[in-house]
Structure 1
Amino acid sequence: MADTVLIVDDDQSVLTMLYKVVKSNGIDAHTASSGEEALELLAHEAYDCILLDVNMHGMDGFAVVQSIRRRGLKTPIIIVSGRKEDYDTLYGLDIGADDYVTKPFNPITLGAKVKALIRRSRDNLPGANALITAGPFQYNTSTLRFYKNGVEIPLSSKENAMMKLFIDNVNRIFSKDMLYDLIWGEAIIDENAIMVYVNRLRQKIEEDPSSPKYIQTVRGLGYRFVV
């Protein structure tokens, strides 16, 4: 059964764009054009993730988040908003949202965030399998430890975050900009940092780092993890 995302926005053009982003990632989607409509849908159906605008007529997105959490629902929520002030981001996260994405957004990056958040939410459920396996690699989401052929490979925090992103998205191409956004967020780093960390990972996981088998460079596009 496919995952299902609830998309909430009173701008029809944005609603359509978000719907296409979700569907392009193999995820089903339902839409609501107001906070009130979203809460009505949530009263009758369970969703794996919610994409939610803040500025809407009637009940705004922050009020929707608070209502959802008061109901005891732990559904992952990503706020997708044109409001870029730090206060709004911190407030949204403080009242219960899991992530805050500002418009305009990169559709591929947003799709990756949705998939990763659904996966992380499912891993945290009681009895869920904490191990992600891809080829000879395993990633334990409970201990944040990474293994190849059963042997642990120590990783720095940023290497760990990059490897988790790759193993969550086998065969998916990530541009440098996407990796910056997903791993470093708003931090300002040297433009060669991505290449440095990719090379470090290759040194640790490849049989021949000079001819990588697993972390491949896709010329002109970025990097892809293949098993």
Structure 2
Amino acid sequence: MACETVLIVDDDPVIQRLLGKVLTSNQLKSEAVSSGEEALFALRRRTYDLILLDITMGGMDGFQFLEKIRRSRNLTPVIIVSGKNEDYDTLYGLELGADDYITKPFNPVVLGAKVKAMIRRNEILQSQSGTLIEAGPFSFDRTTLRAKKEGQEILLSSKETLLFSFFLEHIGQVFSKEQLYRQIWGDWGVDENTVMVHINHLRGKIEENPKDPRHILTVRGLGYKFVV
């Protein structure tokens, strides 16, 4: 089996080396670049299993890079690893399509576990048998990772894609935030803020009126369910 490769995007050589050691200790390969421009060039040369992305860099910063690749439908999982620890930065990164946000200084063991879990979940999604899921006005093609509503494509981030396909496979079932976090992020415990941001962002893309959702429903005191 080929060894998964992670792209490190950070302009600090010390952080590049530290992240490289974390990945090596988890039997993962890595490549490092120092700017958003270099990262775009790297993505044109090959595909990666995951991207570890800093925000504050010269030239194109991490947010600009993330927005650019998501607009081009690149769904490579992205974990932001940044010294910017304000709630606004976390929410903005997730809104742009990041799959997780970790602040520096970080716990190498936790980061390694998150990286492996995220890569594993993405591989499972792409290897599941059966290519097309259909429910009501929605469809999802596991081969192309394309989501549609009434035949019109919906542009989703990688975590939104996982969440959308999971809901389509479990119509009408209620899931707590903890269960969704475990299923989608592959991690025990729960980051409620991350779950809510992705739920709200997905609602914004599939609901006629996100403030009065008809498909992703909140079940008070329990969690969420998807109906068609």
TM-score class normalised by the smaller sequence: 0.5 to 0.7
2: CA distance, partners of 1:69 / 1:33: 20
* Structure with the greater alpha carbon radius of gyration: 1
Supply the AA of the counterpart residue of 1:72.
R
Structure 1 position 102, deviation (Å)? 0.4
2: CA distance, partners of 1:62 / 1:46: 20
Match for residue 35 of structure 1?
36
Structure 1 position 121, deviation (Å)? 1.3
Match for residue 72 of structure 1?
73
Structure 1 position 185, deviation (Å)? 3.7
Structure 1 position 104, deviation (Å)? 0.6
2: CA distance, partners of 1:4 / 1:44: 13
List per-residue Cα deviations over 1:79-104 (Å, max 9, x = no partner).
Answer: 00000111100000001111100001
Match for residue 103 of structure 2?
102
Q: Is the 8 A contact 1:123 1:129 kept in 2?
A: no
| C-alpha RMSD of the superposition | 3.0
- 1:11-30 alignment runs, 5 A limit: 11-30=12-31
2: CA distance, partners of 1:11 / 1:119: 28
Match for residue 115 of structure 2?
114
Supply the AA of the counterpart residue of 1:121.
N
Counterpart check, 1:47 vs 2:57:
no
Supply the AA of the counterpart residue of 2:42.
L
Counterpart check, 1:128 vs 2:128:
yes
Structure 1 position 72, deviation (Å)? 1.4
The SS at the match of 2:6 is strand
- Provide closer, same or farther for how the CA distance between residues 60 and 161 of structure 1 changes in structure 2, counting only shifts above 3 A: closer
- Provide closer, same or farther for how the CA distance between residues 128 and 61 of structure 1 changes in structure 2, counting only shifts above 3 A: same
- Provide closer, same or farther for how the CA distance between residues 13 and 79 of structure 1 changes in structure 2, counting only shifts above 3 A: same
The SS at the match of 1:40 is helix
Q: Is the 8 A contact 2:53 2:62 kept in 1?
A: yes
Supply the AA of the counterpart residue of 2:77.
P
Structure 1 position 112, deviation (Å)? 0.6
Structure 1 position 129, deviation (Å)? 5.7
Q: How many residues align?
A: 154
Match for residue 203 of structure 1?
none
1: CA distance, partners of 2:78 / 2:192: 20
Identical counterparts, % of pairs? 50
2: CA distance, partners of 1:78 / 1:163: 17
Match for residue 225 of structure 1?
none
RCO higher in 1 or 2 (8 Å CA, sep ≥ 6)? Answer: 2
- TM-score normalised by structure 1 residue count: 0.60
The SS at the match of 1:78 is strand
Supply the AA of the counterpart residue of 2:63.
F
Match for residue 211 of structure 2?
none
2: CA distance, partners of 1:120 / 1:85: 28
- Provide closer, same or farther for how the CA distance between residues 160 and 93 of structure 1 changes in structure 2, counting only shifts above 3 A: closer
- TM-score normalised by structure 2 residue count: 0.59
The SS at the match of 1:46 is coil
1: CA distance, partners of 2:66 / 2:47: 15
List per-residue Cα deviations over 1:110-134 (Å, max 9, x = no partner).
Answer: 0111111111112222x4269xxxx
- Provide closer, same or farther for how the CA distance between residues 28 and 107 of structure 1 changes in structure 2, counting only shifts above 3 A: same
Q: Is the 8 A contact 2:121 2:184 kept in 1?
A: no
